[in-house]
Structure 1
Amino acid sequence: MLRPQNSATREMVNLDGTWRFAVDWGHEGLSDNWQSGPLPGRLDAPVPGSVNDLYHDEKIRDHVGYYWFQREVQVPRGWNGERIFVRVESATHEGTVFVNDTKVAEHTGGYMPFEADITGLVTPGENFRLSIAVNNELVNSSIPPGEIIELEDGRRQQEYKHDFYNYSGLHRSVWLYSAPEVRVEDATITTDFAGDTGHVNYSVSVTDTADADVQVRVLDKAGSQVAEASGDAGSVEIPGVTLWQPGAGYLYDMVIEVSQGGDLKDSFTQKFGVRTVAVEGKQFLINGEPFYFTGFGMHEDHETLGKGHSDAHMIQDFQLLEWINANSLRTSHYPYSEDIMDYCDRHGVVVIDETAAVGLNWAIAGGIMGGTAGGTYEKGHVDDSTQATHKEAIRELVGRDKNRPSVVLWSIANEPDTAVDGARPYFEPLVELTRELDPSRPVGFVNVMFAPAGACTVSDLFDVLMLNRYYGWYVQTGDLRTAEASLEKELRQWDEQYAKPTIMTEYGADTVAGMHSIYDQPFTEDYQVAFLDMYHRVFDRVECMIGEHVWNFADFQTKYGYARVDGNKKGAFTRDRRPKAGARALKQRWAEKLGR
């Protein structure tokens, strides 16, 4: 799905701001047609934003079910003769959209955009009522999955298997936009280069191909044309090409123009970068050069905002990534905002792009505590309905991010249960689908430490190994000498068994900012530094290791539990982005590792 843009033939109106807000306490909003009039009550809510941390009523935070958002929208009077769309960049986890009384869209999956053509329901120059019902429920067929618990007193509680808070709301922007009847519907760009010549293959989908003439022009960063072609599919060469590289995100514009009978119908500009990605032996190559990942698993998580997107917070986070010498990130554990992805494209930040398939593991809860009864791959847990949802999540992710040069690796799941027989028939079709959708990038998944080398049943299916390991924290707690031996032993087993490039996608220790000891005691900043140093010594001794992503960039909110006091404290930075001692240790480590 192409992201809307302003062009000679298109126009956008941003609908962010304060919306009317209501909690559907009795689960009656849909049946009682709340969309047909003003929402009950007097509450407001921000868009973008999470609703959970805003109100003094704890019942709103804990509500399981629907939240409703509503506002009046004026259609620009100059949009006569255009197709008119409403686009929701995310509704966590399910969104139902109404224009006045009419339902126009439904979408399941809290981290991807969806839209509806509302042309026949609105009039340029006039207002309409836009209502969005957002459901925060997670069930076994969701990605991520969960369970609804009905208590004896009638309350409903949400159980889920992932270790971050289940924030809900309209977390990203909402748009009204116009586009021509005959328009670019999709575009796919792949690149290669030889010497100083770039090779660009493209294909364009147009809504009406009858007598449609497609022209393609490639512009460099200065706006000068460097290549052109005709037709809805083909290739162009860019002489003297400037490559997209880590830390130097050079982007070209592909201007796609659609005409009929000599009249311009649509103009759409797709940005792209010329670069290659490959796996050769134990190396991960970008533009033919070995790449070593330094950075973090991150979260879209801030105080008050929850998972709501904020440009100011985004800029601050990327400035901290630059300061600490991180060259990459993983979108743990869901696709991130398109604004974040745009930033990575522009600035050369390398991205491991992950679906929201976290918690596919009935043996654990959030990766740290005992699990519930039953196996993972059985009816009512992770089953055929879950797999169908997972396939759609992969299609949506690849469809949204396939043209992004920053994305070098697809991660189709985080910490699933892969030490059991049911894992292979579940994951093999997903790997095949991902490669079919995008043959140009490697595919991986993130392995949990309960499926170690020799026990995982699916790792041979993937191009890159990604491991989450917590020796010295969840096991062998505080005993870094024993943990070092255990970590090295397992990494060497992976290397001997698969000889594939391997990234440590999570390693870290909960650390209370300001807590110190003359001993390396868990939860102190001193222990965090010693823990990280130990892992780095091991990485440097094992040949297959080509990356280190610390868990986590910053402290983040989780559901309550005895192991989570005010959230997960494994951040190199506090939740309000103050560096712990580990941050300075990482800054020095990565400067040396990258030769800076």
Structure 2
Amino acid sequence: MLRPRSTATREKVNLDGVWRFALDGAAGPEPWSGPLATRLEAAVPASYNDLFTDPAIRDHVGRVWYQRTVRVPRGWTNERVLLRVDAATHEGRVYVDGALVAEHVGGYTPFEADVTDHVRAGEEFRLTIGVNNELTNVTIPPGTITVSRSGRREQQYKHDFYNYAGLSRSVWLHCVPAVHVTDVTITTGLDGTTGTVGYAVETNAPAPVRVRALDADGAEVAAAHGTDGVLRIDGATPWRPGAAYLYDLVVEVLDEDGDEDGDGVLDVYREPFGVRTVEVRGTEFLINGEPFYFTGFGKHEDTPVRGKGHDDAYLVHDFQLLEWIGANSFRTSHYPYAEEVLEFADRHGIVVVDETAAVGLNLAVQGGLTGRPHDPTWAPETFGDATRDAHARHLRELIARDKNHPSVVMWCLANEASTAEEGAREYFEPLVGLTRGLDPSRPITFTAWLGATGGNDLVADLFDVVTVNRYYGWYIANGDLETAERYLEDDLRAWIEKFGKPVMMGEYGADTLPGLHSVWDVPWTEEYQRDYFEMNHRVFDRFDAFVGEHVWNFADFATSNGIHRVDGNKKGVFTRDRRPKSAAHALRARWRDLNGRR
């Protein structure tokens, strides 16, 4: 799905702001049929959970309603008018003056509706969006809903971050011409110093198409006609980690005469792109043919008050901290991030591992925590064909949205699924095939949980890169870093020797209370977090096949209630309000030295 852009033939109106807001049941049986009967208002974009002081809102399980009036620009009389929701967590329904115009399941990818027949240029309409936060065994991520003895519905889920919900990203009204571009796919390569730019353009009706590649100064460097082909850019400037260079692909839909002078252009769409290659060769991860070593984090879209609501100020500051600490990459744990984040990474040369929302597909972890037998993870009544179908839909939407971003170098299909359990291969093999068919240009990975090892994992051979999440010295051998070091070295060696693939650390970390200090190896202290990282790094440096380290986590973040979580997960190198802990300075010294030597 193309991101709305303002061009010579397209316009957009941002609908962010303060909307009327109500819980389901508090605004009548059909809240979309008229003005919401409510005094509450909620910010968009933002998760609604932390905006209000009423615990009934924060703990609500089910649908909530947003509403506002929208005026269509009067100049859009002859245009197609589309309404786009960048994200509704986890299910959205959109109504225009009482008419249902769109439904979508999946909390982190966009959806839109053509509302031309429901609105008039220059006039207002009532926009109502219902958002449902419920998670079940056939949603991604999964969850279960129970009813307490007091009769309250409660949401249980399998992931360790708070189930923030609502309209966490922007809502748009935009217009396109009657005949217009509907999709653009760009794939790039390098032939010596020449950049190759494969393109495929889709339109809503047959029409001549012209494409032009413009450099960063706006000069045309290549051009062609047709809906698909390959452009060649002589002396191309590659997109590199830490040295981003972007071109624009200008796609023009022409009238039947195919006018060369600019007259008769029906639609114009511009898509930024970078010329770069990504490849796994042996045990190396290569960008533009050069070995790349990942330094960075698993992150979260998580800030005080806003929850998962996108915020440009935090976006800029977080990337400044990434640069300060020497990080060259991050993983979008555990869901696709806002498109603004990827666009920023494109412009600033930060490498991204792009992950689906498939977190929590693991019932074996419950057995490990409780010591009791667990239900099978891969079964029709738990995570079966219906779950996999939902997972496949998420993959299609993720790749369709993010396929043209040069910053995205790898797809991550799932986080800590139960891949050592019978049925895992049957679940993942079709998804791997789907992903490779949708995008053969990028490597793929998954993250292996502690119960999956080089000796028992059933799916790692299907993937290009082995990514492991390990917490030796925290969940295992807590406070005993000497023993933890031996465990970690044996663990990594087993993966490398078994699969002969690049191996990287997707998560490693230790909860740390800022300001807690000790002269001894005391868990939760800032010194222990620093020493924990140093132990891990000694092990990483012993393996040539090891290609990267992503710390868990960039910053402290909110989690569900639990006796093992006090005010959230404290594994951040930065606090939730982005203040560095002592380990941040140690990481800065290591990563700046690493990136200087590589």
Instruction: Letter of the 2:76 partner, please give it.
Output: W
Is this contact kept in 2: 1:161–1:366, CA < 8 A? no
Counterpart residue number, 1:135: 132
Counterpart residue number, 2:16: 16
Counterpart residue number, 1:74: 71
Change beyond 3 A, Cα 1:47–1:371: farther
Asked if 1:233 corresponds to 2:228, the answer is: yes
Is this contact kept in 2: 1:93–1:137, CA < 8 A? yes
Is this contact kept in 2: 1:163–1:559, CA < 8 A? yes
Instruction: Letter of the 2:8 partner, please give it.
Output: A
Counterpart residue number, 1:55: 52
Counterpart residue number, 2:308: 307
Asked if 1:201 corresponds to 2:198, the answer is: yes
Detail structure 1 runs of 4+ shifted over 3 Å in the superposition.
365-373
Instruction: Letter of the 2:122 partner, please give it.
Output: G
Counterpart residue number, 2:461: 460
Asked if 1:428 corresponds to 2:425, the answer is: no
Change beyond 3 A, Cα 1:61–1:25: farther
Following superposition, the deviation at residue 513 of structure 1 comes to 0.3
Following superposition, the deviation at residue 372 of structure 1 comes to 8.4
Write the distance in 2 (CA, Å) between the matches of 1:386 and 1:371: 25
Following superposition, the deviation at residue 154 of structure 1 comes to 1.8
Moved more, 496-505 or 549-558: 496-505
Percent identity (aligned) = 59
Is this contact kept in 2: 1:162–1:366, CA < 8 A? no
Following superposition, the deviation at residue 36 of structure 1 comes to 1.1
Counterpart residue number, 1:544: 545
The two structures have a TM-score, normalised by structure 2, of: 0.97
Write the distance in 2 (CA, Å) between the matches of 1:366 and 1:260: 64
Change beyond 3 A, Cα 1:493–1:372: closer
Asked if 1:219 corresponds to 2:214, the answer is: yes
Counterpart residue number, 2:244: 249
Write the distance in 2 (CA, Å) between the matches of 1:217 and 1:549: 38
Could you give the per-residue CA deviations for residues 338-371 of structure 1, whole angstroms, max 9, x where no partner exists? 0001001111100000000000011225996778
Change beyond 3 A, Cα 1:369–1:533: farther
Q: Secondary structure at the match of 2:267?
A: strand
Could you give the per-residue CA deviations for residues 389-413 of structure 1, whole angstroms, max 9, x where no partner exists? 0000000001001111100000000
Write the distance in 1 (CA, Å) between the matches of 2:485 and 2:298: 22
Write the distance in 2 (CA, Å) between the matches of 1:270 and 1:408: 18
Is this contact kept in 2: 1:95–1:132, CA < 8 A? yes
Q: How many residues align?
A: 591
Match of 2:121 among 103, 124, 127: 124
Following superposition, the deviation at residue 323 of structure 1 comes to 0.2
Is this contact kept in 1: 2:250–2:270, CA < 8 A? yes
Write the distance in 2 (CA, Å) between the matches of 1:37 and 1:127: 14
Instruction: Letter of the 1:47 partner, please give it.
Output: V
Match of 2:254 among 250, 259, 264: 259
Counterpart residue number, 2:279: 278
Is this contact kept in 2: 1:446–1:467, CA < 8 A? yes
Change beyond 3 A, Cα 1:322–1:174: same
Write the distance in 1 (CA, Å) between the matches of 2:516 and 2:329: 29
Counterpart residue number, 2:261: none
Map 1:158-557; keep pairs closer than 5 Å: 158-209=155-206, 212-262=207-257, 263-364=264-365, 373-557=374-558
Instruction: Letter of the 1:488 partner, please give it.
Output: E
Write the distance in 1 (CA, Å) between the matches of 2:219 and 2:368: 51
Following superposition, the deviation at residue 379 of structure 1 comes to 2.2
Write the distance in 2 (CA, Å) between the matches of 1:379 and 1:285: 39
Change beyond 3 A, Cα 1:367–1:411: farther
Is this contact kept in 2: 1:65–1:137, CA < 8 A? yes
Counterpart residue number, 2:153: 156
Moved more, 584-593 or 260-269: 260-269
Following superposition, the deviation at residue 421 of structure 1 comes to 1.4
Structure 2 spans left out of the alignment, 5+ residues: 258-263
Following superposition, the deviation at residue 543 of structure 1 comes to 2.0
Write the distance in 1 (CA, Å) between the matches of 2:513 and 2:554: 14
Instruction: Letter of the 2:417 partner, please give it.
Output: P
Write the distance in 1 (CA, Å) between the matches of 2:329 and 2:578: 18
Asked if 1:592 corresponds to 2:593, the answer is: yes
Change beyond 3 A, Cα 1:470–1:371: farther
Following superposition, the deviation at residue 40 of structure 1 comes to 2.0
Instruction: Letter of the 1:11 partner, please give it.
Output: E
Q: Secondary structure at the match of 1:54?
A: coil
Is this contact kept in 1: 2:453–2:494, CA < 8 A? no
Write the distance in 2 (CA, Å) between the matches of 1:367 and 1:507: 19
The two structures have a TM-score, normalised by structure 1, of: 0.98
Could you give the per-residue CA deviations for residues 38-87 of structure 1, whole angstroms, max 9, x where no partner exists? 11220000000011111111111000001100000000000011000000
Following superposition, the deviation at residue 291 of structure 1 comes to 0.1
Could you give the per-residue CA deviations for residues 414-467 of structure 1, whole angstroms, max 9, x where no partner exists? 000011111000000000000000000001111101111111111111000000
Write the distance in 2 (CA, Å) between the matches of 1:521 and 1:537: 20
Is this contact kept in 2: 1:19–1:45, CA < 8 A? yes
Q: Secondary structure at the match of 1:420?
A: coil
Moved more, 355-364 or 150-159: 150-159
Could you give the per-residue CA deviations for residues 298-322 of structure 1, whole angstroms, max 9, x where no partner exists? 0000000100000001101000000
Asked if 1:94 corresponds to 2:95, the answer is: no
Change beyond 3 A, Cα 1:55–1:372: farther
Write the distance in 2 (CA, Å) between the matches of 1:513 and 1:367: 29
Write the distance in 1 (CA, Å) between the matches of 2:344 and 2:38: 39
Write the distance in 2 (CA, Å) between the matches of 1:503 and 1:337: 25
Match of 1:35 among 19, 32, 36: 32
Is this contact kept in 1: 2:496–2:545, CA < 8 A? yes
Instruction: Letter of the 1:195 partner, please give it.
Output: G
RMSD of Structure 2 on Structure 1 (CA) = 1.3
Is this contact kept in 1: 2:367–2:374, CA < 8 A? no
Is this contact kept in 2: 1:272–1:404, CA < 8 A? yes
Change beyond 3 A, Cα 1:434–1:366: farther
Change beyond 3 A, Cα 1:203–1:213: same
Write the distance in 1 (CA, Å) between the matches of 2:464 and 2:130: 40
Change beyond 3 A, Cα 1:495–1:366: same
Instruction: Letter of the 1:219 partner, please give it.
Output: L
Q: Secondary structure at the match of 1:364?
A: helix
